[in-house]
Amino acid sequence: MKIDSSPPVVRFSDVNFAYEDGNTVLENINFSLDSGDFACVVGPNGGGKTTLLKLILGLLKPLSGSISVLGRSPGHSQAQIGYVPQFSKFDAGFPVNVLDVVLMGCLQRSFSWGRYSAEQIDKARAALEAVGLKGKEDRGFAGLSGGQKQRALIARALVSEPRLLLLDEPTASVDVHGTEQFYCMFEELNQKFTILMVSHDVGFVSGRVKSVLCVRKTLQIHPVSELTGEALQDIYGVDVNIIRHDHRCSDKGHICPHS
C-alpha cells in the first residue's frame, strides 16, 4: 500500500519554537511521520505537545528550522488536515445541532454561498456513522454527553476527507471504559487516515498506537514496546511511579508474587 518514494506526511527538521516572551518551548525537533502511522504525542503539561500540533497546522510559525506537511509548508496543507481541538474550550450550551457541527468541517477557504449541498450532507452523515453517532444528527450539541461531543468533533474533522488526523487530548473528557472504545475507533480510523494525537494517558495508549513521540522541550521517539520506566522518567524529568498490576497489597503489607 505504501509507496516508498512518497514523502512523509509530516517532517520536522531542526525546528525551534519560542513564544514572544522568549520562553523556548520546543528545541531542535526532528521527526517524520509516515503515511498510515498512528502516533501519540506524550509529555508533561507545558512540554509543548499542543504547540507541536499548532505548528503542523500552520497556526504558529517556527523560530527556525523547516516543517513540511504532506509535502508542502504547513499553511498550505491545512485543507488536508482534520483537526480535533481540545474539547474543554467549548461553550457547552452553544445552540447548534450535531449535523450542523459536522457540516462546519465542510467550510473552505473559497467562499460558498447559501445552504450546504446534498453531497456535503451525505458526507456528514457518513462521518457521524463512522464515529458511532448515527441517528443523533438532529440532536442538540449541548445535550450530548462529553464523549458524544468529542465524537461529533471527530466527525467534523473527518468530513473534509483529510489525509492526516490531528487530535488534541481526545479522551480527556471520557471515562476509562469510554477511552477503550475511543481507541478501538481510532484503530479503525487509522486504516484510512494517518493519525497524530496528543494524550496524557501513556500507559493506556501504548497498546494501540504504533509510535510514541515524547515531547519535553526536546523530542524523542520511542517504539511502543520500549516504553519503560526509564523512558517515562526521561519524559517527565522526575521519578515516575508506574503501577504494577502484578503486585497486590494486603493488610499485612506488600506481597510480591515472586518473593
Contact positions vs another protein (CB under 8 A): 57, 59, 78-79, 81, 83, 85, 89-91, 93-97, 100-101, 103-105, 107-109, 111, 113, 116, 140, 142-143, 156, 160
In 3D space, the residue among 197, 172, 200, 176 whose CA is nearest the CA of residue 88 turns out to be 172
Least CB distance from residue 162 to another protein, whole Å? 10
Smaller CB distance to another protein: residue 39 or 98?
A: 98
Smaller CB distance to another protein: residue 104 or 231?
A: 104
Complete DSSP assignment for 99-167: HHHHHGGG--SS---SSPPHHHHHHHHHHHHHTT-TT-TTSBGGGS-HHHHHHHHHHHHHTT--SEEEE
Least CB distance from residue 139 to another protein, whole Å? 9
**What's the distance, Cα to Cα, between the start and end of the chain in Å?**
49
Smaller CB distance to another protein: residue 112 or 233?
A: 112
Least CB distance from residue 106 to another protein, whole Å? 8
The amino acid occupying position 223 is P
Smaller CB distance to another protein: residue 95 or 257?
A: 95
Q: Which residue has the cell 450546504?
A: 116
Smaller CB distance to another protein: residue 141 or 182?
A: 141
Residue ranges of the alpha helices (H) in the chain?
A: 49-57, 98-103, 118-130, 146-158, 176-189, 202-205, 229-236
Least CB distance from residue 191 to another protein, whole Å? 23
Q: Which residue has the cell 472504545?
A: 181
Least CB distance from residue 53 to another protein, whole Å? 10
